[in-house]
Amino acid sequence: DCGHESIIENPPLSCGSCSMQPSLLKLDPRQWWNQPLLEASRILVIGCGAIGNEVVKNLVMMGVQNFTLIDFDAVEPHNLSRSVLFNNASLERAATNRKVDVMMEGIHLLQSKVNVTAIYGGILDPISKEMGKDMSWELSLNENDLQKLGQEHDLCIIATDGVAPKAFASLALYRILPIVQGAMNSTGNFGLVRASLPLVTACVMCPTTEDVVKLDDSGY
């Protein structure tokens, strides 16, 4: 309202420049929280591991009704300790032990009416192709495939491992729909979340000011 930008991180939720509460925060929640719109949203999820599980579980409990899941991996015993939608019940119900199939059954155990499309496939990024990784998937998704999927959805969650597939997916989808990308380290004690809006913000793989290391006079 005062014309200055201010980062609001902690209560009280007030502007750091003028100390006033932004008018947006005073609005009736019904003006910025649209439950019917949320429930009708179509969510594209790339990566069905621990992060994908947690995000999708929360969205289902918020009422989201439409998901497309993409993953090329299978559920292993160690996944059960950190992936809430992978459990004995969802494993027994699933037609295969593929993560997309088991996760779909886990979603239906929470809410049976949710629409789920499971794609057993991976991102066909150039590095994976060059390294000759085993691609015995039903689908190898190239840039055109991802863009077509992006046009059919309202939001993309990128929760897959590996810099190359994340960068490839971001490149293909950045101009089409909002993206949220989440990652954590191998021990699970450090997480990172980034989001992008088409042609409004930088992409989720672009460096931020915190990532840039200043060079000294010698160039290092």
Indicate the burial class of 53 (C-beta count within 10 angstroms; 0-12, 13-18, 19 or more): buried
CA distance 43 to 64: 8
Residues 113-152: tens digit of each pLDDT: 999 999 999 888 877 666 655 566 778 899 999 999 999 9
Task: Name the residue with higher pLDDT: 21 or 164.
Answer: 164
For residue 219, name the pLDDT band (cuts at 50, 70, 90).
very low
- For the chain, list the strands marked E by DSSP: 42-46, 66-71, 115-123, 139-141, 155-158, 179-184, 191-196
Residues 83-114: tens digit of each pLDDT: 999 999 999 999 999 999 999 999 999 999 99
| Residue pair 165/125 in contact by the 8 Å Cβ criterion | yes
Q: At what angle do helices 50-62 and 99-110 cross, to 10 degrees?
A: 30
Total residue length of the chain: 220
For residue 21, name the pLDDT band (cuts at 50, 70, 90).
confident
Q: What percentage of the chain has pLDDT greater than the value 90? A: 55
pLDDT of residue 17: 78
* Closest-CA residue to 152 (of 47, 43, 64): 43
